[in-house]
Amino acid sequence: MTTTIKATTRSAANGDSRGDSAVQPPAPSGMPRHLLSAGDLNAETATLVLDTAERLEQAMSGREVRKLPTLRGRTVVNLFYEDSTRTRISFELAAKRLSADVINFSAKGSSVSKGESLKDTALTLQAMGADAVVCRHSASGAPQRLSAWVSGRVVNAGDGTHEHPTQALLDAFTLRRHLGELAGRKIVVVGDVLHSRVARSNVLLLSTLGAQVELVAPPTLLPVGVGSWPASVSYDLDASLSGADAVMMLRVQRERMSGAFFPTAREYTRSYGLDVRRRAMLPDHGVVMHPGPMNRGMEITPAVADGDGSVIVEQVANGVTVRMAVLYLLLSGEMETNA
Amino acid sequence: MTPGNTPARREDSTAGAGPEVRAEILSEADIARTIDRIAHQILEKAGDEPVVLLGIPTRGVYLARRLADRIATFSGRPCPVGSLDTTLYRDDLRRRPPRALEETSIPAGGLDNLTCVLVDDVLYSGRTIRAALDALRDHGRPSAVQLAVLVDRGHRQLPIRADYVGKNIPTAADDDVAVRLTESDGRDAVELIRA
């Protein structure tokens, strides 16, 4: 306990000397102020989030009242510029389980359709006193811009083709459940890496946690500069599956595909789809993941998606717990760091 | 345990500079005797009613396990024991950096209609116990809730009183009471550290 207390005093002193400058000190626990990228977390803070989620699940299990008073009186705004079911509901449930007040804002039916800019919307939220803003936007980097305009904490819930850090956290949480510590584990990420914010966040987070990540995709669906990512790259799924502890299938994002990235859907499925034959190449403890929504029959066959070792439904359930952990860690101690 | 902004328990206070006075308040043998006595007192008060012990992390959990063990020996019946983390129910969450959560485990039978004894190492401001009472309310409805502490050091900020006290220690607000238990610290001792 001492160390925390000392750290507190030190960082409070730093805060004072810096005055009201734009550079805000990180929370004393090492948690970043905002969660914009999975790269904002180091091994220590990422583990803190996962451990906290574990404890939250423990605290919530088997109880009469499925609610904690932790964020009572705090307001969390879900600012969604892009369609989403599971992420928005998951964040909403997480905030409500912690007793925060939740405001759902979707671009449809708001002043955005009258042409209000992101900045003006942000200033409105600021004026209404949002303690945390959960932002999904089709433009990469929107949450980052937002974080400069509001005083509350910003959580990136998916920005364009950039990042989706809480998805990576829930994937890591799910993986840790099944595989134990992730250090040295081989995780194969398959499919549309180019358009996938899930892949980007997972590569950053899983490599931070010591896992060995292999990206498998047709060359057309790999981003420029993928060589500098902390991951290996392969074009051959069959070869990659041997010795993999987990395989994470990515959705083929037809809505973001304007060009011809592969000849036909059937050819894609034949080369990069996960079917029963390929599933059998995983070791017995191997798990199958998909961030959803799935294109059944395209990147994954129903038999595999619903079969043994598939943790796809579990991922959704874990999403709520992990997001509770993120909101708790970002929003506690806020009075002190704002002082 | 930790009121306002005063660090109530500095656990590695050995590292501190300047003169400090340490006095051993309870030895290993004293702690063992105290736990035996509290176990008897809990049994005496409960009579034939079933009792469940809930320790408050971290050291309260070790104490609760030891107590449950003694109660089982003295009564010949197993005594369910669990742990209850109060962090998410604290009233100072906004004022302090985020804390890591500790284990919560409620014994399989639940708490409904049982006498539930909360166990902690040091009773100080009473705020931890208030948080524990709030947490308990969400887990079920015990027929009665009691409190057992190894050390009561005074300075209550809330109207809370322990049912079973190992030792009352008069302290100043900036003193430290360090409880060491074998499970976490390698030895059993209670020390008073004068500021």
Could you tell me the CATH superfamily of domain A21-162+319-338?
Aspartate/ornithine carbamoyltransferase (3.40.50.1370)
CB nearest to A1's CB, from B11, B104, B137: B11
Amino acid letter for position A222: L
Percent of chain A clearing pLDDT 90 (strictly above) = 72
**Residue A196 or B17, more confident:** A196
Does pLDDT of A337 surpass 50? no
Percent of chain B clearing pLDDT 90 (strictly above) = 78
- Is B3 a member of any domain? no
Q: A31 — contact with chain B (CB < 8 Å)?
A: yes
Q: Please report how many Cα atoms fall inside a 13 Å half-sphere around the Cα of residue B64, on the Cβ side.
A: 27
Does pLDDT of A135 surpass 80? yes
CA–CA gap between residue A301 and residue A89 (Å, rounded): 26
- Is B56 a member of any domain? yes
Q: B17 — contact with chain A (CB < 8 Å)?
A: no
Residues 6+ apart with CB under 8 A from B48: none
Neighbour tally for A113: CB within 10 Å: 9
Q: Considering only the top CATH level, what class is A165-312?
A: alpha beta
Task: Find chain A residues with C-beta within 8 A of B95's C-beta.
Answer: 333, 335-336
Q: Is A108 exposed, middle or buried (0-12, 13-18, 19+ CB in 10 A)?
A: exposed
Task: Find chain B residues with C-beta within 8 A of A33's C-beta.
Answer: none
The alpha-carbon gap from B93 to the nearest alpha carbon of chain A, in Å, equals: 5
Residue spans in chain A of domains classed CATH 3.40.50.1370: 21-162+319-338, 165-312
As for the ipTM of the complex, it is 0.80
- Is B7 a member of any domain? no
Amino acid letter for position B122: V
Q: What is the pLDDT of residues A206-232, one digit of tens each?
A: 999 999 999 999 999 999 999 999 999
What angle (nearest 5°) sits at the alpha carbon of residue A55, between those of residues A205 and A171? 30
CA–CA gap between residue A237 and residue A268 (Å, rounded): 11
Q: What is the pLDDT of residues B97-152, one digit of tens each?
A: 888 899 999 999 899 999 999 999 999 999 999 999 999 999 999 999 999 999 99
Whole-model pTM? 0.86
CA–CA gap between residue A280 and residue A307 (Å, rounded): 11
CA–CA gap between residue A97 and residue A33 (Å, rounded): 22
CA–CA gap between residue A91 and residue A322 (Å, rounded): 10
Number of domains present in the structure of chain B = 1
Provide DSSP, A28-88. Answer: TTS--SSB--GGG--HHHHHHHHHHHHHHHHHHTT-S-----TTTT-EEEEEESS--SHHH
Which of B150, B192, B190, B152 is closest to B66 using CA atoms? B150
The residue segments making up the domain with residue B95 are 22-194
- Is B16 a member of any domain? no
The alpha-carbon gap from B177 to the nearest alpha carbon of chain A, in Å, equals: 13
- Mark out the alpha helices in A180-311 (DSSP H runs): 197-208, 237-241, 265-272, 276-279, 302-305
- Is B14 a member of any domain? no
Is the CB of residue A33 less than 8 Å from the CB of residue A26? yes
Query: What CATH number did the domain enclosing B145 receive?
Result: 3.40.50.2020
- Residue A257 pLDDT level (bands cut at 50, 70, 90): low
Q: What is the pLDDT of residue B39?
A: 97
Is the CB of residue B54 less than 8 Å from the CB of residue B119? yes
Q: What is the pLDDT of residues A53-94, one digit of tens each?
A: 999 999 888 787 889 999 999 999 999 998 888 899 999 999
Nearest CA in chain A to B138: A65
Secondary element (H or E) of residue A106: strand A101-106
**Residue A107 or B138, more confident:** B138
Q: What is the pLDDT of residues B68-78, one digit of tens each?
A: 999 999 999 99
Q: What is the mean pLDDT of chain B?
A: 89
